[in-house]
Amino acid sequence: MTDLTRMTAAQLASAIASKEASAVEVTTAHLDRIDAVDERVHAFLHVDREGALAAAERVDRGEVTGPLAGVPIAVKDVIATKGVPTTAASKILEGWRPPYDATLVERLRAAGTVMLGKTNMDEFAMGSSTEYSAYGPTNNPWDLGRIPGGSGGGSAAALAAYEAPLAIGTDTGGSIRQPGAVTGTVGAKPTYGGTSRYGLIAFSSSLDTPGPCARTVEDAALLHSVIAGHDPRDSTSIPQPVPDVVAAARRGGSGDLAGVKLGLVKEFAGDGSEPGVLAAFHESLEALVKLGAEVVEVSCPHFQYALPAYYLIAPSEASSNLARFDGVRYGLRTGDDGKHSLEEVMSLTREAGFGPEVKRRIILGTYALSSGYYDAYYGQAQKVRTLITRDFESAFEKVDVLVSPTTPFVAFPFGSRTSDPYQMYLADLFTIPTNLYGGPAISVPCGLSEGLPVGFQVMAPTMADDRMYRVAAALESAVGTFTPPAL
């Protein structure tokens, strides 16, 4: 019999709809796989066996229909799931069970998906390796001694380890795309405002974007079409129709890119990328040219300031957003022994509940927002954000999409970038400009370097998410998908 865990979401949805397989069989196969491998991978912080089987039974009884009826999914632990533990991988939210569902979780349920559980991540989505999870890192299924990327390393590793065919991530500076790249899976960041942030635990509100993770471009597009669309509960949600990303992925999958112009960002050339990453990227470019695409060099002179701008804007917003964790309304409370004042209890709670990267970013953000430094740091970063947006807009007058490696290096060994936080930040060098601009971008596997996956990034104009799916699917049709060694 076919191994149900090796099938794509599209294949599973079709098999369940035609009764070739039951939703309970599909769910059980994935829960068994989690039992078999997750002790080594640690992709999940919480497995909701009971909830998943109950949801699958409802699909089998015909009570729930929908485009992805019966297809299992893993959800990043930064997204509120009613009654199911949600920690953002932080000790400060240990044991918290949200009293409501995020909008995208409601949409996943309406589409018939079966939630298997919650995936590991860097605490509050701050990191590029899952090493900042308060519950221990996730191990990359390609090499268990290496990082799975971050912050959404758990979602990406769950896909690569065949524990789930679909997953949800969130992308603030690359947290969907970089884990996708280093695990050989597909990760898409939709246009900012294209997917709802309601029920997403906020890190940097002007950048946070939930999006789909999958093993194929078509599966990512299917998931994208289910979660995207206007939500009145999110004031930055875009009240416009969602581009037809599924049709675009299928069109690209046919391998025709005639007339499509790919922009190569001049300023990214030779910017610290490993030779193996560059080699796989350039081979992929040639493959796209064979499909009819044209490569045009474009200049984006302010991209070199994207990393500094991001590491001022994101911590500033985080320092404000994380003020809500004060030991009053939810989560941890420490030092409430009748001897400490409210303010002391708050400080002791936050000290005990937050990990080192979260504390660093709160302090950095507080600094960048303080009187006397505001104009030079936060204010200047917002102006640079305008200039980066203008760079994108002027590039998109000449080309249809921009392309680059997703991240400069393949999965690195644990511990190799934690002593100097700025070395970790460099993982996001190519993904961050898109977040500041607000457009969509996708990472698709394009080859291997020394046996480890390399990601190819396609960036598109805002609300032109369909374009990136077309190019990514065309590349996938040319280079194929990549399977890690057996666990």
Partner 1 sequence: MAAISREEVAHLARLSRLAVTEEELDRFAGQLDVILQSVARIGDVAADDIPPTSHSVPLTNVYRDDVPQPSLTQEQALSGAPDAYEGRFRVPRILDEED
Catalytic residues: 76, 151, 175
Of 219 and 326, which has the nearer Cβ to partner 1? 326
Q: How far is the CB of 19 from partner 1 (least distance, A)?
A: 37
Minimum CB separation from partner 1 for residue 305, in Å? 6
Q: How far apart are CA 457 and CA 262, in angstroms?
A: 11
Q: Give the Cα separation of 279 and 482 in Å (integer).
A: 17
Nearer to partner 1, 257 or 307 (CB): 307
Nearer to partner 1, 364 or 460 (CB): 364
Nearest approach, Cβ of 364 to partner 1 (angstroms)? Answer: 6
Q: For the chain, how big is the Rg over CA atoms in Å?
A: 21
| 149 Cβ contact partners less than 8 Å away, ≥ 6 residues apart | 128, 129, 130, 140, 156, 178, 179, 180, 181, 182, 183, 407, 411, 427
Give least dist CB 12 to partner 1, A: 34
Q: Quote the Cα angle for 190-194-198, to 5°.
A: 110
Contact residues for 213 (Cβ-Cβ < 8 A; gap 6+): 152, 155, 156, 159, 166, 167, 168, 169, 176, 179, 180, 185, 186, 187, 188, 220, 223
| Whole-number Å distance between alpha carbons of 81 and 83 | 6
Q: Which two tokens stand for residue 290?
A: 């064979």
Between residues 270 and 338, which has the closer beta carbon with respect to partner 1?
338
Of 146, 180, 69, 179, the C-alpha closest to 114 is: 69
Nearest distance, CB of residue 158 and partner 1, angstroms: 26
User: Tokens for 184?
Assistant: 């050989």
Choice between 54 and 363, CB closer to partner 1: 363
If you count them, how many residues does the chain have?
487
Which of 178, 164, 241 lies closest to 9 in space, CA to CA? 164
How far apart are the C-alpha atoms of 471 and 457, rounded to whole Å?
Answer: 10
Give the shortest CB-427-to-partner 1 separation in angstroms. Answer: 14
